Amino acid sequence: MRLRNVPRSCLLVCALPLVGQPTAPPIATLAVEIARPGAALAPHMWGVFFEDINFAADGGLWAELVKNRSFEFPQRLQGWFEIRPEQARGTVTVRSDRPAVAKNPHYVRIQAPAEGFGIGNEGFRGMGVTQGVGLSFSTRIRGTAALRVTLRGDQNRVLAEGRLGSSGSTWRTVACAFTPNATDAQARLELTLEGPGQIDLDAISLMPTDTFKGHGFRKDLAQALADLKPGFLRFPGGCVVEGYDLSNRYAWKETVGPRDERRPNPSRWLDALASEGRFTPDYQQSNQLGFFEFFQLCEDLGADPLPVLGVGLACQFQSNEACAMEDLQPYIQEALDLIDFATGPADRGWGKVRAEMGHPAPFRMPYLAVGNEQWGPEYIERFPRFATAIRAKAPGIQVIGSSGPWSGGKDFDTLWTAMRQEKADLVDEHYYAPPSWFLANAQRYDRYPRTGPQVFAGEYAAHPERPAPGQPRPNHWEAALAEAAFMTGLERNGDIVRLASYAPLLGHADAWQWSPNLIWFDSLRVARTPSYWVQQLFATNAGTRVLPATLSLQPGPNATASLYASATLDEATREVVLKVVNAGVRPATVALPGMTGPASLLRLSGEAAATNPLGEAAKISPVSESLTLSGSHTFPARSLSILRMPLGRSQP
């Protein structure tokens, strides 16, 4: 809680020195009413928002290393190059006659009069392979020649090799496993003929054999998500749900069923930063990571699924294409069918599709978001049609409505009024703003009405200035600390703020469109940003009930101190959990009346400009210590501190 304008009614002042630290006079008091626990926090309040942006899916969380594996990109050979050793002659053509997969008909034909000719794949900005970590290669193949499969690295070094015999005149699926003999961040895959002849290839795949829980997710990235202990996973994105226009909106049915039959879709983000020299024409969603995999990931992470579906409105910042109201029913049906897909019986309809994909038991699906960042009368007239149909089919599902892309203003207010009227269960709010906004708005929800729809802070991040066009906005500590200050306000108002997720989640360092992001990665490395650690500490120290807490400044020259706090009770461990942000540049001693005895402390602190770049030692990461409190604590400059104190035996 920011210090100014705080009611002093429940203030207890009892400033005692911290054992082992020089006594500094308290500049503020944080009074926590331990005996008066308030609302229960949503047990899954802190979640993550997986958005297919910045190569987050293909080339990111989905562990496939081959780009354009089915030759269905609009530029059919994008990602592929010809391998033509000296004197080797041959042709590479893309065809669609007698295809292996009718829904994805294109394949490649390689013809050569001698061995050595073929094609290679560059991966997603290079294939990251690790010495000793097994890879599994597979392809559909037809033809007379045998195929040599080579993984090549720096200076043309052969990292692994395999051979697959010829298959004759019908398509077969063949596979081989191999293990790289060295680590390489920029490896490439080569497929060459072993002798003269012709082969057709399609649905080519190279995946690590060891993926997160065996479900195809890149292990280090999925582990970074797992370590956040996310309560929910919002997916598959924001604007990709809407599409640039309706033709490339996210259609979930195209993303389930046999993987080779899923049709790729141009990403709405591929030219998002073209004007700044960052153009990613190879950003095509392969849909190999589709809705089944998202639900599976939720299960693997222990997170509640929170799917977002389109409402027949393409991105309102882009084409603004809207389907006619009389054409809305298919979109509503998609929502109803999704309920069947996730939760319906395994022996029929969409539930059967799920079962055939290997999950006969229903998935959890407590939420369904109707639209992403929609606004205007065109959304307001659509929302009730969806909400009514969803409620009639599955009354237990909480329906989430949009408040648009802005954190306030006329459209925002109009949407909130409409969502109240339509009795949305939650309203999704988004705010991307400078760090100062997050500090200034840490009390935003203290003033919100306590009745009506609850709040889903679905996308937020503090945005520092972009240093130059085409350069990412930094993920520095100043931004993360401002988010932490704001999050104390979310937690303090946990009776109405039920869900919250930073955005976006993932960014490929060589293929991003949006910044900042919670986690940066490249083909082999992962960087957990300062904002990541803020999210992680809040999620893993949430507590179960809000405790009334009042933070008050001592009158005097320090009355401008930048302090924010929240308090919760953890009923499982019987601890009081205090979160205090000192966003100021000086240490701040705060009286903590009644807080005496042993405690544990988790802390993040550092220079305002500190970042955790890929491949470098993290400058911002949590430190922990045990201490004994004596009724006050000194919070370092620019710090987030989480104090956990056991309740006394006599306390409730």
CB closer to ligand AHR, 405 vs 584: 405
* The token pair that represents 439 in the structure block: 């500090």
Segment interacting with ligand AHR (CB under 6 A) among 6-14, 82-90, 237-245, 278-286: 237-245
> C-beta of 243: minimal distance to ligand AHR in Å?
11
Decide if residue 459 touches ligand AHR (CB under 6 A).
yes
> C-beta of 489: minimal distance to ligand AHR in Å?
21
Give the number of other CB atoms < 10 A from CB of residue 164: 20
CB closer to ligand AHR, 116 vs 504: 504
> C-beta of 486: minimal distance to ligand AHR in Å?
17
| Dihedral pair phi/psi, residue 49, rounded to 5° | -115, 105
Q: Which of 236, 238, 344, 516 binds ligand AHR (CB under 6 A)?
A: 238
CA dist 55 and 520 (Å) reads 11
CB closer to ligand AHR, 150 vs 475: 475
Residue at token pair 């046999």: 258
CA dist 484 and 158 (Å) reads 48
* The token pair that represents 578 in the structure block: 């205090």
CB closer to ligand AHR, 307 vs 405: 405
Q: Name the residue whose CB lies closest to ligand AHR.
A: 238
Going by the DSSP 8-state scheme, the letter that residue 465 receives in this structure is: P
CB closer to ligand AHR, 267 vs 488: 267
Segment interacting with ligand AHR (CB under 6 A) among 38-46, 84-92, 106-114, 236-244: 236-244
Q: Which of 373, 429, 478, 570 binds ligand AHR (CB under 6 A)?
A: 373
Residue at token pair 């490929």: 508
> C-beta of 212: minimal distance to ligand AHR in Å?
23
Segment interacting with ligand AHR (CB under 6 A) among 216-224, 233-241, 332-340, 599-607: 233-241
Q: 267-274, long-range: CB within 8 Å, 24+ apart, which pairs? A: 267/52, 267/53, 267/240, 268/239, 268/240, 268/242, 268/243, 268/244, 268/315, 268/318, 269/52, 269/53, 269/54, 269/239, 269/240, 269/513, 269/514, 272/513, 272/514, 273/470, 273/513
> C-beta of 176: minimal distance to ligand AHR in Å?
39
CA 501 to each of CA 47, 238, 370, 435, 497: distance values in angstroms, whole numbers, following the listed order: 5, 12, 17, 17, 11
CA dist 351 and 339 (Å) reads 9
Q: Which of 51, 115, 184, 334 binds ligand AHR (CB under 6 A)?
A: 51
> C-beta of 374: minimal distance to ligand AHR in Å?
10
CB closer to ligand AHR, 178 vs 502: 502
Q: Helices (DSSP H) in 422-471: which residue ranges?
A: 435-440
Q: Which of 27, 34, 503, 591 binds ligand AHR (CB under 6 A)?
A: 503
> C-beta of 409: minimal distance to ligand AHR in Å?
15
CB closer to ligand AHR, 51 vs 64: 51
Tell me if 232 sits within 8 A of 44, measured CB to CB: yes
Peptide bond preceding 472 in cis form (omega within 30 of 0): no
Element (H, E) at 379: helix 377-393
Residues in the interface with ligand AHR (CB under 6 A) total: 13
Closest C-alpha among 387, 388, 459, 454 to residue 430: 459
Asked if 64 is an active-site residue, the reply is: no
Decide if residue 239 touches ligand AHR (CB under 6 A).
yes
Q: Which of 64, 122, 242, 373 is catalytic?
A: 373
CB closer to ligand AHR, 195 vs 376: 376
Concatenated DSSP letters of 476-533:
-HHHHHHHHHHHHHHHHTTTTEEEEEES--EEETTS-SS---SEEE-SS-EEE-HHHH
> C-beta of 474: minimal distance to ligand AHR in Å?
17
Binding mask 378-407 for ligand AHR (x = CB under 6 A): ---------------------------x--
CA dist 129 and 180 (Å) reads 7
Q: Which of 197, 307, 472, 504 binds ligand AHR (CB under 6 A)?
A: 504
Where along the sequence are the contacts to ligand AHR (CB under 6 A)? 51, 53, 237-239, 372-373, 405, 430, 459, 503-504, 514
Please identify every residue annotated as catalytic.
373
